[in-house]
Amino acid sequence: MRWIAFVILLYVVTVLQTTVAPFIAVHTIRPDLMVIMAVHYALLVRTSDALIACWCIGIAIDLTGISYAHYSNVGINALAIGLLTIFIVNIRELTFRDSVVTQLIFTFLVKLALALLVGMHMLFVLGDWGRFGEVLTTAIWAAVYTAVLSPYGHWTLRQFRGVLGIGAPHRLRVR
């Protein structure tokens, strides 16, 4: 994996997430391009590289996000994406990593889990558990929207595998 190319890609995706995503939002539900990038790296690169890369993506999400009330939320996305990456890395050998269905399912599950964890953290900090239904509804729709756009994001990232230093996933050979 080439880390300088990763940092440049992370910068470009962060800029797209903060500038373009609000324009394609549907009723305040935005797709999460950073999650698509994190899932792509979690599925395809070595375990140690995947953990570091996804943690860096989580920190970028934290630093570009907003805080609620007077509480900072730096670290919650990095921790959540790091834990979800451990889950993906442990079961990715059981899947076809280049399959659109696999990428779609993992993107949906990661976005849903991330939105729920961050939303529950926000409700805990603010002490407003009565809005859990709203957080759940928003998390589901954001996960659906992100998953719908994920094949395009994964295809775009697949085109830059050589530049990013990501090899094709290993295939089993049948004799």
Whether residue 167 lies inside any domain: the answer is no
Q: Return the C-alpha torsion angle 112, 130, 128, 75, nearest 10.
A: -10
Range of the domain at 38: 3-161
Given the structure tokens 């994964």, which residue do they identify?
Answer: 154
Count of structural domains within the chain: 1
Taking Cα atoms as reference points, which of 45, 58, 55 lies closest to residue 14? 58
- What does the pLDDT read at residue 56? 96
* pTM confidence score: 0.90
Please check whether residue 33 is in contact with residue 153, taking contact to mean a CB–CB distance below 8 angstroms.
yes
- What does the pLDDT read at residue 67? 67
Whether residue 133 lies inside any domain: the answer is yes
Whether residue 169 lies inside any domain: the answer is no
Q: Consecutive 10-residue runs of the chain (175 residues): their mean pLDDT?
A: 94 95 91 96 94 96 78 86 95 89 96 94 88 94 96 94 81 61
Taking Cα atoms as reference points, which of 145, 139, 137 lies closest to residue 117? 139
Whether residue 126 lies inside any domain: the answer is yes
Q: Which residues pair with 29 in a beta bridge?
A: 26
User: What is the C-alpha to C-alpha distance for residues 166 and 113, in angstroms, rounded to an integer?
Assistant: 26
63: number of Cβ within 10 Å? 11
Whether residue 174 lies inside any domain: the answer is no
Whether residue 17 lies inside any domain: the answer is yes
Please check whether residue 51 is in contact with residue 35, taking contact to mean a CB–CB distance below 8 angstroms.
no
Given the structure tokens 């442990």, which residue do they identify?
Answer: 90
- What does the pLDDT read at residue 128? 87
- What does the pLDDT read at residue 150? 96
Whether residue 168 lies inside any domain: the answer is no
Whether residue 151 lies inside any domain: the answer is yes
For residue 74, the domain's CATH number is 1.10.1760
Q: Chain centroid to CA 116: how far?
A: 13
